[in-house]
């Protein structure tokens, strides 16, 4: 029964940007980008599998988990500096992260 309670737990994702803090809810089956997108916050991404590093953002507080995925898009220095890849990261606790970059505007081609 204790395991079931833990599985159903939701976590708070707080985005910090300058003096602003905005919080979102995360459910265990969603990665961080999916949780933000479900609540209307779009984030820049490309590969969606932890390989390219485009979604790179800094973890200020809390713990994340990559499960069986490997964050190949992070180099050793970035890991040591607390960067994470939210496209494959799931919350293990409430977290506070740097607001990830927004998607690039679409180009209008002639
Ligand atoms: S979108 Fe490529 S590592 Fe996150």
pLDDT digits (tens, 9 = 90+) for 50-99: 999 999 999 999 999 999 999 999 999 999 999 999 999 999 999 999 99
Do 36 and 23 form a contact (C-beta atoms < 8 A)?
Answer: no
pLDDT interval class at 110 (50, 70, 90): low
11 phi, psi to nearest 5 deg: -125, 160
Give percent of the chain above pLDDT 90.
76
Of ligand 1's listed atoms, the one at least distance from the Cα of 50 is 3
Q: Residue 85 to residues 16, 28, 64, 66, 94: CA-CA distances in angstroms?
A: 16, 16, 10, 9, 16
pLDDT mean over 18-30: 92
Of ligand 1's listed atoms, the one at least distance from the Cα of 86 is 4
Q: Which two tokens stand for residue 38?
A: 């479900």
Torsion of CA 97, 25, 69, 92, to 10 degrees: 80
Of 20, 14, 23, 17, nearest to 102 (Cα)? Answer: 17
Q: Over the Cα atoms of the chain, what is R_g?
A: 14
Domain boundaries, the chain: 7-98
pLDDT mean over 41-51: 94
Determine the straight-line distance between the first and last CA of the chain, rounded to whole angstroms. 59
Mutate which of 52, 69, 103 for ligand 1? The one with the most ligand atoms within 8 Å of its CB, which is: 52
The CATH label, of 3.40.640.10, 3.10.20.30, 3.50.50.60, 3.20.20.80, for the domain at 7-98 is 3.10.20.30
* H or E element, residue 5: helix 2-7
């Amino acid at each position: 029964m204790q395991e079931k309670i833990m599985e159903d737990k939701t976590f708070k994702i707080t985005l910090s940007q300058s003096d602003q803090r905005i919080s979102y809810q995360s459910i265990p089956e969603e990665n961080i980008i999916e949780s933000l997108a479900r609540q209307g916050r779009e984030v820049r991404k490309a590969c969606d599998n932890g390989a390219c590093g485009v979604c790179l953002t800094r973890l200020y507080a809390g713990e994340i988990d990559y499960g069986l995925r490997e964050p190949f898009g992070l180099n050793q220095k970035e890991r040591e500096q607390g960067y994470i890849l939210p496209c494959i990261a799931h919350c293990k606790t409430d977290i506070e992260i740097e607001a990830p970059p927004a998607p690039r505007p679409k180009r209008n081609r002639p």
